Structure 1
Amino acid sequence: MAVVQSTSKQLDLLAKLMRAEAEGDGQLGMLMVGNVGVNRVLANCLDFKDIRNLEEMVFQSPGGFEATTKSYFYQSAREVDRKLARRTINGERFHPATRSLWFFEPSGECPAQWYNQWNSGRYKSHCFYSPSTEDCPNI
């Protein structure tokens, strides 16, 4: 059962985002990026109060994803990427992205905080950051 509603276009957008942001971190890294995307749709808090669907999340501005400014994002979604996107839409969660709303690729160690949000962990090249339960109870 889906935790967020999606059209086939929105599924493709999430799949392309996951690949463009984290293909180098393998399928698990891509799934974690998908977690962040789904969490942003569910959150209704902080920077994500007006995000209601996957397309709005992917193209949020300001505060969106760098990958949408690169040509690689605009290649067609592959079936393997769609399958990964479906898993996150259906509610599968992967630590450290379980409750994360942000991630980035630092040049060194993960800072303890990033934009006042606490680090929830690192997976390969990306550091993940999660809000407090008080700030974002919906995720």
Structure 2
Amino acid sequence: MKKLMTVITVLLSLLFTSPAFAYTVNSGDTMSGIARSHNLSLQELASLNPQIQNLDLIYVGQTIHTELQEVNAIGQAVHTASKPEITVGYSENELDLLARLVRAEAESEPYQGKVAVACVVLNRVASPAFPNSIKEVIYQKGQFQPVRNGAINQPADGDSIKAVQEALDEKRNTAAGSLFFYNPSTATNRWLDSKTTTLVIGHHVFKK
């Protein structure tokens, strides 16, 4: 009888708590990247994690819920909020586009500044305030001068390609929190002056 009561207690606990499968944040992770790797949209991942108020601010070791479980009538765990596991990343065309933007925006800047420019684009992809793909972020109307003047169409150089790869990996936090950058000495529009400065590299000031 005691054993039966224990089983019933466990089943009831499962039924009413709907435990969440969890992912532990690693260095360089973003909510957008975690969503892609679990085949979820950013909005779906956000709905599973209402404790995260700012999707741009997650930290190493933090627990991110990626799917929910329910228990069926005979006590078996049933996945309900997950999608088929597939590996999703940026396409070769997207990374080439990003590298071309980095070259156009930061060709004469220090290497770290090239990485930071790439990080800004990736930060925008991860932010709910901007489109959710590299292509849409770069081609969003009025955002990047190389798109307007055609410089985006020039091929990327080796440093720009390398900077993009590092921005996706070990240097992902180079421009953590930064969503904008500009050169104050050449900018004709000063609206970014009032935003919070995150870092300065070469001629570029990065803002959030």
TM range (shorter): 0.7 to 0.9
Amino acid at match of 1:17: L
Q: Report the counterpart of residue 58 of structure 1 in structure 2.
A: 138
The answer for unaligned runs of 5 or more in structure 2 is 1-27, 34-88
Q: Report the counterpart of residue 67 of structure 1 in structure 2.
A: 146
Amino acid at match of 1:101: L
What is the root-mean-square deviation in Å for CA atoms of aligned residues? 2.4
Correspondence for 2:198 among 120, 124, 134: 120
Amino acid at match of 1:23: E
CA distance in 1 between partners of 2:109 and 2:173 (Å):
14
Give secondary structure in 2 for the equivalent of 1:100.
Answer: coil
The answer for unaligned runs of 5 or more in structure 1 is 131-139
CA distance in 2 between partners of 1:123 and 1:39 (Å):
17
Q: Report the counterpart of residue 34 of structure 1 in structure 2.
A: 118
CA distance in 2 between partners of 1:32 and 1:56 (Å):
19
Aligned length: 120
Runs of 4+ residues over 6 Å off in structure 1: none
Amino acid at match of 2:206: F
Structure label with greater radius of gyration: 2
CA distance in 2 between partners of 1:37 and 1:91 (Å):
16
TM-score for both structures, normalised by structure 2: 0.51
CA distance in 1 between partners of 2:193 and 2:185 (Å):
17
8 Å contact kept, 2:103–2:157? no
Per-residue CA deviation, residues 12-63 of structure 1 (Å, 9 max, x unaligned), is: 0000111110111121111110010000000113xx1xx111111111114x
1:122 shift after superposition: 1.3
Give secondary structure in 2 for the equivalent of 1:122.
Answer: strand
Amino acid at match of 1:18: V
TM-score for both structures, normalised by structure 1: 0.74
1:101 aligns with 2:179: yes
State the structure with bigger RCO (CA 8 A, min sep 6), 1 or 2: 1
8 Å contact kept, 2:110–2:201? no
**Identity within the alignment, %:** 28
